[in-house]
Amino acid sequence: MEELSFNEQKGLLIKGWMSHDARWFMAVAERFGIEEANRLNQKVCRELGKVEMKRFMKAFGLLPPKTVDEHVRMNDAAISLYGPDLIEYEIKVLDHQSYEMRIKRCFAHENVVRAGIEDQHQCGILARVQGWIDAQGLEHELAPPLGKCMKVLGKECSYTITLRFH
């Protein structure tokens, strides 16, 4: 283990998890159909996001965010831990409760295209982000609602997230 840097070790763990995720999705799709695989994938991704963010906040002693800027910084930090090489994205804060997230490159999109199921796959990435928002104790609206991959539909992958702070 000493021969590998921390980042190399972390990369191996993330790639292992991603390999498991892809194989789980395909096994469910083969057994129960793509619609059920998509439904379950979004559910699992959102629940995973909740667990990840709760652990993240506990590990760093973070309280739920009170502003959109705090929320965005927390999510940026979580992405840098849980998979910095998985997506390339931009965040633009729109106002005191809303921001736009534009995903320029997405590992999930790349992999579903490679697997040949892009026309049937629905987004799980934003479901995970929704889990992070849930764990932060925030209610939110996502526009457009989750569905088929925006990139597959020939659109820009861009979502507006409106938060309700308590």
Predicted confidence (pLDDT) per residue in 89-127, tens digit:
999 999 999 999 999 998 888 888 888 888 888 988 899
Q: Which of the residue ranges 17-21, 71-75, 136-140, 155-159 would you say has the lowest mean pLDDT?
A: 17-21
pLDDT for 145 equals 93
Contacts of 163 (CB under 8 A, 6+ apart): 68, 71, 97, 98, 133, 138, 139, 140
98-106 β-sheet, strand order: 87-93, 98-106, 157-164, 139-143
pLDDT for 59 equals 97
* CATH code matching the domain that covers 6-164, chosen among 3.40.50.720, 3.30.1380.20, 2.40.50.140, 2.40.10.410: 3.30.1380.20
pLDDT for 99 equals 98
Predicted confidence (pLDDT) per residue in 138-154, tens digit:
999 999 999 888 888 88
pLDDT for 148 equals 87
Would the pTM count as exceeding 0.85? yes
Per-position DSSP letters for the chain, written without gaps between them: -TTS-HHHHHHHHHHHHHHHHHHHHHHHHHHH-HHHHHHHHHHHHHHHHHHHHHHHHHHHTPPPPSSHHHHHHHHHHHHHHH-TTTEEEEEEE-SSSEEEEEEEEEHHHHHHHHHT-TTT-B--HHHHHHHHHHHTT-EEEEESPS-B-TTTTTS-EEEEEEEE--
Predicted confidence (pLDDT) per residue in 36-85, tens digit:
999 999 999 999 999 999 999 999 999 999 999 999 999 999 999 988 88
CA angle 113, 51, 71 (to 5 degrees): 85
pLDDT for 92 equals 97
The structural domains of the chain, with segments of one domain joined by +, span 6-164
